[in-house]
Structure 1
Amino acid sequence: MRLRREQPADHDSVRDVHLHAFGEHDHGLVVARLVDDLRAEATLSLVAEAPDSGRVVGSVMFTPALLDAPLRLLDVQVLSPLAVAPAHQRQGIGQALVREGLRLLTELHVPLVFLEGDPAYYSRLGFTPGGAHAFRKPSLRIPDAAFQVATLPAYEPWMTGTLVYSPTFWHHDCVGLR
């Protein structure tokens, strides 16, 4: 498997990965549209290529958000969405994409990465419940267990507060359970 930054030629393939991973009907279409719109603001968008075919089989995006901290607004990142084509799931592709993304964000001195997701999956990648660090979720629709954060080396203890998603997530109503 080869991990690399998404290129313009990958857009259709990335869209297909999200459609297939999230279902080709309502939810998959919403996520695919979200990806299309987030692309313009993404800090980092990575893809995984299948070793045999070179086809894009996985995708992850990291986009800017704000943390409304007591001292000042702080630039942070949101991991969303992450998708792996169904035929390639359970092979470590998603984990590899997330780990590489966190490594690259560490090099950019990003202090915090937030997400909404399955704690059983993301805890293996260094994410912990946001509430345990006194972070507040941006919506009551997000289950407490799903609101998670990874603290990177640039994190400092004063960095606490409320996560503020970019307007794109709100525009697509992609916050919390649906």
Structure 2
Amino acid sequence: MHLREELLSDRETVRNLHLRAFGDHGRVVADLVGTLRESVTPGDGLSLVAEHDGQTVGHVMFTRSLLDAPRRLVPVQVLSPLAVTPEHQKRGVGSALVRHGLKVLADRAVPLVFLEGDPGYYSRFGFAPGGEQGFRKPSLRIPDGAFQAIRLAGYETWMTGTLVYAEPFWRHDAVGLRDPGA
């Protein structure tokens, strides 16, 4: 498996990967990726693909958001989304993408990475419930256990507060869980 930064020529393949990986929710995720991609620059954010036998089989994106801390706003990263083609799931592709992304961000002195996801999966990388670390989630629709954070080398103890998602997450209604009966 080969990991690398996403190229302009990968856009359609990555979109199709998200459509397949996320089923009914795939269009929202694929559209979110398209919008978030605009914010990824060489020094801020990260979009990685995994290739196997010349085929793109995984994608992860880390994008800038803010932590509203008592001293000041702190630039942080949000891991979202992570997708692997159905036939390559449970083979370490997603884990390799997450680990590589966290290493790159740590080397860039990013202090914190947040996500919404399965604690059973993401705890293996060092993510832990955000609320237990002094962070407040950006929406009450996010289940407490799903709101997770990892502190990287750039973290300082005063960095507590509320995660403020970048605008595309709100525009695409990709924050927390909606109540279909409401």
TM-score, L = length of structure 2: 0.94
Are 2:39 and 1:2 aligned? no
- Matched to 2:35, the amino acid is D
Q: Deviations over 1:56-104 (max 9, x none)?
A: 1000000000000000000000000000000000000001000000000
Deviations 1:107-165 (A, max 9, x none): 11000000000000000011000001110000000000000001001111100000000
Q: Find the aligned partners of 1:67 and 1:32 in 2 and give their Cα distance.
A: 25
DSSP-derived class of the 1:40 partner:
helix
Structure 1 residue 8 displacement after superposition:
0.4
Structure 2 unmatched ranges of 5 or more: none
Structure 1 segments, 4+ long, off by >2 Å, are none
Whether 2:161 is the aligned partner of 1:155: answer no
Alignment RMSD (CA, Å): 0.6
Unpaired stretches in structure 1, ≥5 consecutive residues: none
The aligned amino acid for 1:95 is S
The AA in structure 2 aligned to 1:63 is T
In 2, Cα distance between the equivalents of 1:121 and 1:14?
22
User: TM-score scaled to structure 1, two decimals?
Assistant: 0.96
| Identity over aligned pairs, percent | 66
Equivalent position SS for 2:137: coil
CA distance in 2, matches of 1:62, 1:124: 18
Partner residue in 2 for 1:44: 46
Partner of 2:26: 28
Give, in whole Å, the separation in 2 of the partners of 1:127 and 1:133: 10
